[in-house]
Amino acid sequence: MIFECGKYTRKLATPPSLLGFAAVAGKKEREGPLGLEIDNVVEDTFGCNSWEKAESEMQKQAAKLALTKAGLAPPDIDYVFAGDLLNQCIGSHYGMRELGIPFIGLYGACSTMAESLAMAAIFVGGGIAKHTMAVTSSHFCAAERQFRFPLEYGGVRTPTAQWTVTGAGAVVLGAGETLPYVRAVTIGAIEDKGIVDISNMGAAMAPAAAETISRFLRDTNTNPSNYDLILTGDLAAVGSELLVQLLQLDGIDISENHADCGLMIYDRDKQDVNAGGSGCGCAATVLCSHIIPQMRKGKMKNVLFCATGALMSTVSIQQGESIPGIAHLIHLSNE
Amino acid sequence: MIFECGKYTRKLATPPSLLGFAAVAGKKEREGPLGLEIDNVVEDTFGCNSWEKAESEMQKQAAKLALTKAGLAPPDIDYVFAGDLLNQCIGSHYGMRELGIPFIGLYGACSTMAESLAMAAIFVGGGIAKHTMAVTSSHFCAAERQFRFPLEYGGVRTPTAQWTVTGAGAVVLGAGETLPYVRAVTIGAIEDKGIVDISNMGAAMAPAAAETISRFLRDTNTNPSNYDLILTGDLAAVGSELLVQLLQLDGIDISENHADCGLMIYDRDKQDVNAGGSGCGCAATVLCSHIIPQMRKGKMKNVLFCATGALMSTVSIQQGESIPGIAHLIHLSNE
């Protein structure tokens, strides 16, 4: 059963377990602070002859590993929720094609790990499915040439720009005793404060994150100190600072227990990533390589996972549009 | 409550009503057989300075009209499920931006009207939401320049090619007595039989439609004669013929009561559309302008609505990949 909790939040009375999870990523991510926790790391082409095919391969590997770790096979999964950044989400379509699982395609840009987890949890918690899977990915080279410039061009990136993570994450959900559980979900609305600089997506996404976190805390009548960690998706350096400021204006202080996946996955002093990491694979890799294992070991009991997305395209930006942002929140808990 | 019915189908014990619905489309669609049933028709730029912005405008108009017809306002809607064909689904993001409704972005290519309806129905039927909305759109000019050639090039199209519908549809769901209801939902899996011709998407999608329809009929232990209409999304002339043949091989004869949105929206003898219509807006416009009103008038009691999608991108095709297809099915009923 699923219960309304305030206007925007849904609590899961029988919270689904994260039965299995996996992160697969590239060489640069291996060299980052979480590198040794990533399940599988290979060279960035993953044995494929294009970066887009490599991204699909990463998704497939992550999904298969998560299934194996859950002790399940594709026919055991009722629905897979997946999406990515590539035009028409081909990372997911070719990645999930051979698994044969009923497929619900999502587009949430870099918020996809939270969006897919939210749907996957609601389907299990609402009794619609026994087992579900949430999957997403991004690939630096595929994203760079699609959204920005050919890599060969070697364009200089601005200080506010973020580095798209080459990584994929997959989580299998179902009833069980395995920690952690998904306790609650808050789906965000589109927020657009008029940011037009595509090299500053942190600023475009921060208002959405602030609104979603604020809605969740109000709906549940809790405050930041009730959580071990409030983890945003990929706001990186600029967006994280803005988020803390925006929430302070709203009377909410997350400065003591906020972290951002975009600031965790790389060492900004040693790795050339400007403001930090981004991409669907950023939140997915950090969640599946580091956060869930930390919770399973009991090192954290309550985590708010709030992945953020920038919903523009190159066409909308060229036509002078601003960047709409979105953020979805998942309350992960051992309790 | 939602009940399992066979492996792939979910029945909605308290079936949600289609409380409001609207179709907004372009000039060519007005000139087609269903033209007079479309709620709102304007010139193809909808007063905007780009086709992409026009597509967003269409979505917004369709959503607002559907809300008005349901007697509801945006704050009454718990979740909107929306997606479209444009890169990064900008039709939906800019179209839904000002409504402020918690937003779940989908990508299902031309299957999006069924995918969004399925999710919207499950959320109401499963007690997760009181009111939901399902929205999608496509725009011929925006799709043509994104997927094929600049319009100015005037490329000749092959006989198997389809014409992307300029149209948007929106449906508001909630508890109620308003006909029709969503009785059941079958989410499809990705099917890929190796078709590589992007001018023959009907052939790429037909196997997915055949599989989903067959699964629904097996799961519910019903046969085609139990339904007034089995309506596929946009298989058009080539795909429709293949679908009937594929199902015949499976011992299922739908030839007596099958129709396809791609064959209904245009007059193929008088309008230059080759094999017929396509695009997310094709199934959406036919459903919202013609099918739901016919059901509300009691002219049909049970309809299977199975929208189909081709999940490739220009990049995947250029890299030699085949076209994965998908089809989701909704059982609409007055009973």
pLDDT tens, position by position, B254-298: 999 999 999 999 999 999 999 999 999 999 999 999 999 999 999
pLDDT tens for B149-181 read 888 888 888 999 999 999 999 999 999 999 999
- Check if B176 contacts A (Cβ < 8 Å): no
Judging contacts by C-beta atoms under 8 Å, the chain A residues touching residue B122 are 123, 126, 128
DSSP state of A156: P
Contacts of B87 in chain A (CB under 8 A): 87-88, 313-315
Mean pLDDT of B186-215: 97
The pLDDT of residue A93: 98
Of A83, A123, A313, the CB nearest to B86: A313
Q: B196 at the A interface (CB within 8 A)?
A: no
Nearest to A109 among B1, B88, B126 (CB): B88
CA distance A107 to chain B (A): 5
CB contact under 8 A, A316 and B90: yes
Q: How far is B146 from chain A (nearest CA, A)?
A: 10
- How high does pLDDT run on average in chain A? 96
Q: What is the CATH number of the domain that holds B218?
A: 3.40.47.40
Mean per-residue pLDDT, B95-120: 98
The residue-averaged pLDDT of B192-206 equals 95
pLDDT tens per residue, range B1-19: 888 899 999 999 999 999 9
Q: Tell me, letter by letter, the H, E, C secondary structure of chain B.
A: CEEEECCCEEEECCCCEEEEEEEEECHHHHCCCCHHHCCEECCCCCCCCCHHHHHHHHHHHHHHHHHHHHCCCHHHCCEEEEEECCHHHHHHHHHHHHHCCEEEEECCHHHHHHHHHHHHHHHHHCCCCCEEEEEEEECHHHHHHHHCCCHHHCCCCCCCCCEECCEEEEEEEECCCCCCEEEEEECCCCECCCCCCCCCHHHHHHHHHHHHHHHHHHHHCCCHHHCCEEEECCCHHHHHHHHHHHHHHCCCCCCCCEEEHHHHCCCCCCCCCCCCEECHHHHHHHHHHHHHHHHHCCCCCEEEEEEEEECCCHHHHHCCCCCCEEEEEEEEECC
Asked whether residue A130 falls in the same domain as residue A214, the answer is no
Res. B235 pLDDT band, cuts 50 70 90: very high
Q: Are residues B213 and B326 in the same domain?
A: yes
Same domain, B236 and B256: yes
- State whether B21 and B131 are in the same domain: yes
Residue B172: partners with Cβ closer than 8 Å, 6 or more residues away: B18, B19, B20, B21, B66, B67, B69, B70, B72, B77, B131, B132, B133
Residues B195 and B329 in one domain: yes
Low-confidence winner among A70-79, A148-157, A188-197, B92-101 (lowest mean pLDDT): A148-157
pLDDT of residue B150: 86
How many domains in chain B? 2
Tell me if residue A59 falls in helix, strand or coil.
helix
Q: Which of B98, B136, B139, B316 to probe by mutation at the A interface, max A CB count within 10 Å?
A: B316
Determine contact, residues A189/A18, Cβ cutoff 8 Å: no
Work out the average pLDDT over B316-333: 97
Task: Flag if B86 and A315 touch (Cβ within 8 Å).
Answer: yes
Residues A13 and A118 in one domain: yes
Q: Would the pLDDT of B44 be above 80?
A: no
Q: Is the pLDDT of residue B42 over 80?
A: no
Summarised one tens digit per residue, pLDDT across range A264-290 is 999 999 999 999 999 999 999 999 999
Query: What pLDDT band is residue A9 in, cutting at 50, 70 and 90?
Result: very high
Chain B: closest CA distance from residue A125 (Å) = 10
Chain A hits for B94, Cβ within 8 Å? 316, 321, 324
Q: Does B318 touch chain A (CB under 8 A)?
A: no
B197, B210, B330 from B326: Cα distances, Å:
16, 10, 14
- Of B174, B204, B229, the residue that ends a domain is B174
Of the candidates B89, B190, B314, the beta carbon closest to that of A97 is on B190
Residues A97 and A167 in one domain: yes
More confident residue, B254 or B198: B254
Residues B25 and B170 in one domain: yes
Whether residues B224 and B257 fall in one domain: yes
Structural domain containing residue A314:
181-333
pLDDT digits (tens, 9 = 90+) for A96-114: 999 999 999 999 999 999 9
Boundary-marking domain end, from A174, A196, A215: A174
Across the range B76-105, mean pLDDT stands at 98
Identify all chain A residues contacting B8, using CB atoms and an 8 Å cutoff. Answer: 102
- Are residues A254 and A203 both part of a single domain? yes
Is residue B76 located within the same domain as residue B111? yes
pLDDT at A3 over 90: no
In tens, the pLDDT along B78-89 reads: 999 999 999 999
Is A14 near chain B, with CB under 8 Å? no
* Chain B residue numbers touching A53 (CB-CB < 8 A): 319, 321
Q: How many CB atoms lie within 10 A of CB A127?
A: 18
A164 & A305 share domain: no
Kindly list the residues from chain A whose CB atom is less than 8 angstroms away from the CB atom of residue B128: 2, 10, 122, 126
Residues of A in contact with B108 (CB under 8 A): 104-105
* Average pLDDT score over chain B: 96
**Are B103 and A326 in contact (CB < 8 Å)?**
yes
Out of B90, B108, B109, whose CB is closest to A313?
B90
Choosing from B152, B174, B196, the residue where a domain stops is: B174
A82 vs B contacts (CB less than 8 Å):
none
Evaluate if residue A216 carries a pLDDT over 90. yes
